[in-house]
Amino acid sequence: MSKDPFRTFSVPAQPVEELASECLVLFCHSDERPLRGAAGRVDWRLCGQLSALMVEEELTGALGQRLLVPVQDRRMGASRVLVLGVGESASSPRSQLRVGLEQALEVLAKLRLKRILLSFPESWLTPEVAPELARTLVRRVESGLKELEGPIAIKVKVNRESRMRFRDALRRELRGIPHFTLESPPASPNSGLSTRKSAGKTLSMHSSS
């Protein structure tokens, strides 16, 4: 392990295309056409580049496929996009996430990247699967990036409905691991003091984030 093995995880709320990183990792199913969720937003920002690769059958989503796409659009926060094929959507999400994360961390370690953004399929974020996803992610980062010196930031983009669930699962997995931290979510823009009249009284309240 390096002398400064700090690994900071975060689960941001911003749109995937706005999040800065050296590499955005997308996990693609072979039978998902058109692309949906975060992958669909990225494809839109890339003017259909991923869809074009699918039409040309350079991107199939087959299990084990790896495709690195450079990004030149300044509206994208990521410098490059790594698309990993995880097979058919009906396959076991637990098997998919184990294979997918192993591939992702292998490529990221070879590229020696330290600002990483991961976007997971919705099927990996169910209440039954999310805890295993968090556990596998932490273990893969711990073992797969151990040779990289200095701090590493890992952002995880999940859908809004799954954000708190995955944060809680990730927090549990990080508990007790030295130098591994979970970044607190930023304060809501409306988190300042506000006033509301009720029964003739003015109440000061903090809105929950």
Here the tokens at position 200 are 């003739």
Q: How confident is the model at residue 202 (pLDDT cuts 50, 70, 90)?
A: very low
Residue 158: is its pLDDT beyond 90? Answer: yes
pTM of the complete model: 0.85
- Reading phi first (left if > 0) and then psi (alpha if -120 to 50, else beta), residue 95 is in alpha
Structural domain including 174 reads 7-206
CA distance 23 to 79: 6
In a domain, 2, yes or no: no
The residue among 26, 10, 8 whose CA lies nearest residue 122 is 26
In a domain, 1, yes or no: no
Find the CATH number of the domain harbouring 168: 3.40.220.10
* Number of structural domains the chain divides into: 1
In a domain, 190, yes or no: yes
Residue 144 contacts by C-beta under 8 Å, 6 or more apart in sequence?
Answer: 102, 105, 106, 108, 109
Here the tokens at position 62 are 């087959």
Q: Over the stretch 12-56, which tens digit does the pLDDT of each residue have?
A: 999 999 999 999 999 999 999 899 889 999 999 999 999 999 999
Here the tokens at position 74 are 């300044």
In a domain, 107, yes or no: yes
Residue 169 contacts residue 202 (beta carbons within 8 Å) = no
Q: How confident is the model at residue 187 (pLDDT cuts 50, 70, 90)?
A: low
How many residues comprise the chain? 209
- Arithmetic mean of pLDDT, 152-156: 97
Half-sphere exposure of 160 (CA within 13 A, CB side): 3
Tell me the backbone φ, ψ of residue 133, rounded to 5 degrees. -60, -45
Residue 180: is its pLDDT beyond 50? Answer: yes
Residues forming beta bridges with residue 171, ordered by sequence position = none
